[in-house]
C-alpha cells in the first residue's frame, strides 16, 4: 500500500496536473489484465498472431487483454524499419517485436530473434510457424559481453526475466536457469552476417554488458539501436555513461520517452513526454534526465550521425 501511495505522489509530481489521471489509468490497465490459463493464440493489432504463455503476468497477459504492447514505441520502431534490413532482436520473448520486424523487412530481410527463457522460446517458435515467417532465425541464447554461461532469473512476468548478476534475485522470480550466452560481435561473426541495420533490446538492466560485446558490430555496420534503458536498475550515472559511449561512436539520440505511460489506455499522452534532444552529449543528457519521469525506465532509439 505504501508503494502505491509513493508511486501516486511521484506521478503527481512528475506528470503535473494530469498525474493523477495517468496513475489511475495505469492502475486500471494493470487491474484489467487477463492472465492466460492455457496456451492461447492472440491476434495483435499489428496484424499477426502470438502464442501466449500460460500464467504469464507480463506481455502475454497484456496482449490477451488489449491486443497491443507499448504502442508509442511500436510506432517509432516501425518507422525505422525497411525492406531488406537485417535486425538483431535481443530479448524477443514471445515474438511481438520480432514478428513486427520480420513483416517490415520482408522476405529479402532477416530478423535474428534471441530469447533465452526455455518455455517462452517454445512460444516464440510456435509463433514463427503460425505466421509463416521464413525470415526469422530464432536462437535460444542469452547475449552478454562474451561467450559463456549465465544464470537467468525466470519471472512470473516473462518480460521481467533477466540475467542474474548478484546473489539475491528479486522476490518475483520462480526459477533460475543456466543458459549459454554469446556476445553480439561473436554472434554476427558466427552467422556470417554481411550487414546489421538495427539492434533492438529489452534486457532488464543488462544493457551495459550486452553493449560491451557489441562495439565492433556498431563500428563496422553502424546499425540503429533501439533499447529499453532501465535507469532505476543500472543507475543514473551508468545510464549517462552508456549513452555517452554510444554517442562517442558517432551516434545521435533520436528520442527518449518514459516507458511506464506507454500503455494502451493513455499512450497518446506519451507523445507529450518524449524528448528529442539536441546539442552536444552533455546537453542531450541534461535535456533527457532533468525530467524526473526519465529516472525509471525509458525507451530510446539512436541513429548513426553520418
pLDDT at residue 306 in the model:
73
Classify residue 261 as exposed, middle or buried by CB count within 10 Å of its CB (0-12, 13-18, 19+): buried
Phi first, then psi: what are they for 124, rounded to 5°?
-60, -45
CA-closest candidate to residue 114, choices 191, 36, 166: 191
**Could you tell me the CA-to-CA distances from 228 to 23, 138, 207 in Å, in that order?**
21, 21, 8
Domain 33-304 adopts which CATH fold?
Answer: Rossmann fold (3.40.50)
pLDDT at residue 168 in the model:
56
Indicate the DSSP class of residue 241.
H
**Could you tell me the CA-to-CA distances from 15 to 6, 8, 101 in Å, in that order?**
14, 10, 32
**Could you tell me the CA-to-CA distances from 80 to 5, 113, 196 in Å, in that order?**
38, 17, 13
Q: Which long-range contacts (CB under 8 A, 24 or more apart) does 281-285 make?
A: 281/243, 281/244, 281/247, 281/248, 284/243, 284/247, 284/253, 285/240, 285/243, 285/244
CA-closest candidate to residue 163, choices 137, 125, 218, 201: 201
CA-closest candidate to residue 243, choices 298, 195, 199, 281: 281
Which segments in the chain show pLDDT lower than 70? 1-4, 166-174
Whether 103 contacts 138, CB under 8 Å: no
Q: Which three cell numbers stand for residue 278?
A: 539536441
pLDDT at residue 13 in the model:
81
Taking residue 249's Cβ as centre, other Cβ atoms within 10 Å add up to: 15
Whether 214 contacts 207, CB under 8 Å: no
How far is the C-alpha of 81 from the C-alpha of 198, rounded, in Å?
A: 8
pLDDT at residue 113 in the model:
98
How far is the C-alpha of 25 from the C-alpha of 31, rounded, in Å?
A: 10
Which residue carries 544493457 as its cell?
Answer: 207
Q: What is the pLDDT of residues 20-51, one digit of tens each?
A: 777 787 788 777 888 888 888 999 999 999 99
pLDDT at residue 134 in the model:
96
3-state secondary structure of 291: coil
Domain ranges within the chain, ordered by starting residue: 1-32, 33-304
How far is the C-alpha of 189 from the C-alpha of 208, rounded, in Å?
A: 20
* Cα angle 140, 298, 141; round to 5: 10
How far is the C-alpha of 256 from the C-alpha of 136, rounded, in Å?
A: 28
- Sheet with 142-143, strands from edge to edge, namely 142-143, 173-182, 148-155, 162-163
Distance between terminal CA atoms of the chain?
Answer: 50
Q: Which three cell numbers stand for residue 225?
A: 539501436
pLDDT at residue 170 in the model:
56
Amino acid at each position: 500500500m505504501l508503494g502505491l501511495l509513493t508511486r501516486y505522489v511521484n506521478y503527481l509530481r512528475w506528470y503535473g496536473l494530469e498525474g493523477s489521471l495517468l496513475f489511475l489509468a495505469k492502475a486500471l490497465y494493470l487491474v484489467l489484465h487477463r492472465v492466460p490459463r492455457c496456451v492461447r493464440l492472440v491476434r495483435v493489432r499489428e496484424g499477426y498472431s502470438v502464442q501466449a504463455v500460460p500464467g504469464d503476468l507480463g506481455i502475454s497477459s497484456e496482449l490477451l487483454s488489449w491486443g497491443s504492447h507499448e504502442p508509442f514505441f511500436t510506432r517509432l520502431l516501425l518507422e525505422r524499419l525497411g525492406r531488406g534490413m537485417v535486425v538483431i532482436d535481443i530479448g524477443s520473448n514471445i515474438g511481438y517485436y520480432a514478428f513486427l520486424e520480420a513483416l517490415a523487412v520482408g522476405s529479402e530481410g532477416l530478423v535474428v530473434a534471441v530469447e533465452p527463457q526455455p518455455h517462452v522460446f517454445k512460444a516464440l517458435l510456435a509463433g514463427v510457424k503460425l505466421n509463416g515467417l521464413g525470415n526469422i532465425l530464432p536462437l535460444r541464447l542469452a547475449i552478454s559481453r562474451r561467450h559463456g554461461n549465465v544464470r537467468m532469473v525466470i519471472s512470473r512476468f516473462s518480460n521481467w526475466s533477466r540475467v542474474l548478476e548478484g546473489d539475491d534475485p528479486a522476490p518475483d522470480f520462480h526459477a533460475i536457469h543456466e543458459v549459454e550466452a554469446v556476445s553480439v560481435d561473436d554472434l554476427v561473426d558466427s552467422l556470417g552476417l554481411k550487414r546489421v541495420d538495427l539492434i533492438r533490446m529489452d534486457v532488464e538492466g543488462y544493457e551495459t554488458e550486452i553493449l560491451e560485446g557489441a562495439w565492433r558490430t556498431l563500428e563496422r555496420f553502424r546499425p540503429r539501436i533501439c533499447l529499453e534503458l532501465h535507469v532505476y536498475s543500472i543507475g543514473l550515472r551508468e545510464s549517462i555513461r552508456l549513452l555517452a559511449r554510444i554517442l562517442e561512436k558517432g551516434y545521435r539520440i533520436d528520442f527518449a520517452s518514459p516507458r511506464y505511460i506507454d500503455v494502451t489506455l493513455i499512450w497518446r499522452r506519451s507523445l507529450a513526454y518524449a524528448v528529442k534532444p539536441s546539442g552536444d552529449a552533455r546537453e542531450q543528457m541534461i535535456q533527457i534526465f532533468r525530467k524526473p519521469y526519465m529516472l525509471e525506465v525509458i525507451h530510446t532509439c539512436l541513429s548513426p550521425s553520418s
